[in-house]
C-alpha cells in the first residue's frame, strides 16, 4: 500500500523548502451534496474533453465514471455515442449498478455499467474510473505483459497495476465485469489484454491522470522495446519513486495543469 505524503511533503519533494505561508492546493471539500455533485460532474465533463484532446476515442468506445456523492451505488457517465469533444456537464447521465437510467434522456453504454459497476462495487475507495481504447494502450495490451519500471513516470505503476488476460469480446455480461474488478484488485490500474487500459482514483482528476500517464508509459515502453532492450530501474528505487509520484494526492495534483488548460479553452463544458 502506497503511503500518502502530507501536502507539505509533496511540495518539498517537488520544489524544495518553501515558506510556511505557502498554501498547497488540495482537493476541495463541500458544504452540500448538491455542490459536490456539480463539482464531480464538471470534473467528469472536463475529463472527457481531455480524452478527446488526447485522441483517446475510437468510435463509441470508452467511458469515465464518477460516483454520485449522495448514493455511492449510482454513478455519472457519458451518454452512449456522444463525442468526447462535445460533452458538457449537463449531458451526463446517472445510472445504477443494474444500468437503470436515473437521470438524463440518452442511451446508456452497456459495457460502461457492466465494467464500471463492478469496479465501483469492488473498490469502495475509488470515486472514479476511466477506460478507453487509446492507441498505445491497446497496442501494449496485446503483448500480455505488465509495464516495466524503465522511466520515472512508469514507476507510478510499479507493483501497482494488474493484467486481465481473459478477453472474451465486447463486455456485455456482469460476470466479466466482476473478473476485471477482481484482476484490478487494490491497484490503481489494470491492463485489459487485447482491449486497453482502465484506471481508478479517489477523484476524476486522479483517474484521468493515471490514464494519461499510463498511456504515455505504454508508448515509451513500445518505443524502447522497438529500439533495443530497455534497462530496468531497480526495485528499491522504483518503489521509492512510486511513493513520490504514485499517491492519490500526487495523481490529483499532477492533473491540475490539464484541468486549467481544458477549462480555459472549453468553458462551455460547464453548461
Interval 130-167: pLDDT, tens = 999 999 999 999 999 999 999 999 999 999 999 999 88
CA distance 89 to 96: 18
Higher pLDDT, 126 or 99: 126
Q: Which of 155, 180, 179, 143 minimizes the C-alpha distance to 232?
A: 155
Q: Is the CA virtual torsion 102, 106, 110, 111 positive or negative?
A: negative
pTM for the full model? 0.93
Residue 58 carries which DSSP code? B
CA distance 27 to 203: 8
Cβ neighbours of residue 229 closer than 8 Å, sequence gap 6 or more: none
Q: What is the mean pLDDT of residues 73-95?
A: 95
The pLDDT assigned to 18 comes to 63
What average pLDDT does the structure give for the chain? 91
The pLDDT assigned to 13 comes to 62
The pLDDT assigned to 32 comes to 97
Cβ neighbours of residue 113 closer than 8 Å, sequence gap 6 or more: 77, 95, 97, 98, 99
The CA-atom distances, in angstroms, between 258 and each of 51, 53, 74, 206 are 11, 10, 27, 11
Residue 5 banded pLDDT, cuts 50, 70, 90: low
What is the distance between the terminal CA atoms of the chain, rounded to a whole angstrom? 39
The pLDDT assigned to 3 comes to 63
pLDDT at 2 over 80: no
CA distance 80 to 164: 24
pLDDT at 9 over 70: no
The pLDDT assigned to 60 comes to 87
Amino acid at each position: 500500500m502506497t503511503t500518502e505524503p502530507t501536502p507539505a511533503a509533496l511540495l518539498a519533494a517537488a520544489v524544495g523548502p518553501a515558506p510556511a505561508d505557502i498554501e498547497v492546493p488540495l482537493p476541495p471539500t463541500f458544504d452540500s451534496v448538491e455542490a459536490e455533485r456539480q463539482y464531480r460532474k464538471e470534473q467528469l465533463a472536463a475529463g472527457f474533453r481531455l480524452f478527446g484532446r488526447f485522441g483517446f476515442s475510437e468510435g463509441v468506445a470508452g467511458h469515465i465514471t464518477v460516483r454520485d456523492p449522495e448514493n455511492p451505488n449510482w454513478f455519472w457517465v457519458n451518454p452512449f455515442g456522444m463525442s468526447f469533444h462535445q460533452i458538457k456537464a449537463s449531458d451526463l447521465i446517472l445510472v445504477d449498478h443494474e444500468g437503470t437510467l436515473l437521470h438524463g434522456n440518452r442511451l446508456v453504454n452497456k459495457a460502461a455499467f457492466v465494467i464500471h459497476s463492478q469496479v465501483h462495487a469492488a473498490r469502495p475507495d475509488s470515486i472514479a474510473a476511466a477506460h478507453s481504447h487509446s492507441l498505445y494502450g491497446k497496442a501494449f495490451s496485446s503483448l500480455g505483459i505488465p509495464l516495466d519500471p524503465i522511466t520515472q513516470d512508469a514507476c507510478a505503476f510499479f507493483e501497482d497495476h494488474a493484467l486481465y488476460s481473459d478477453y472474451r469480446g465486447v463486455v456485455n455480461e456482469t460476470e466479466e465485469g466482476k473478473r476485471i474488478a477482481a484482476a484490478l484488485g487494490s491497484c490503481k490500474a489494470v491492463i485489459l489484454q487485447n482491449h486497453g487500459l482502465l484506471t481508478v482514483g479517489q477523484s476524476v482528476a486522479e483517474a484521468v491522470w493515471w490514464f494519461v500517464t499510463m498511456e504515455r508509459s505504454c508508448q515509451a515502453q513500445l518505443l524502447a522495446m522497438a529500439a533495443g532492450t530497455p534497462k530496468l530501474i531497480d526495485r528499491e528505487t522504483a518503489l521509492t519513486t512510486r511513493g513520490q509520484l504514485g499517491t492519490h494526492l500526487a495523481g490529483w495534483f499532477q492533473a491540475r495543469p490539464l484541468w486549467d488548460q481544458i477549462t480555459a479553452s472549453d468553458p462551455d463544458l460547464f453548461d
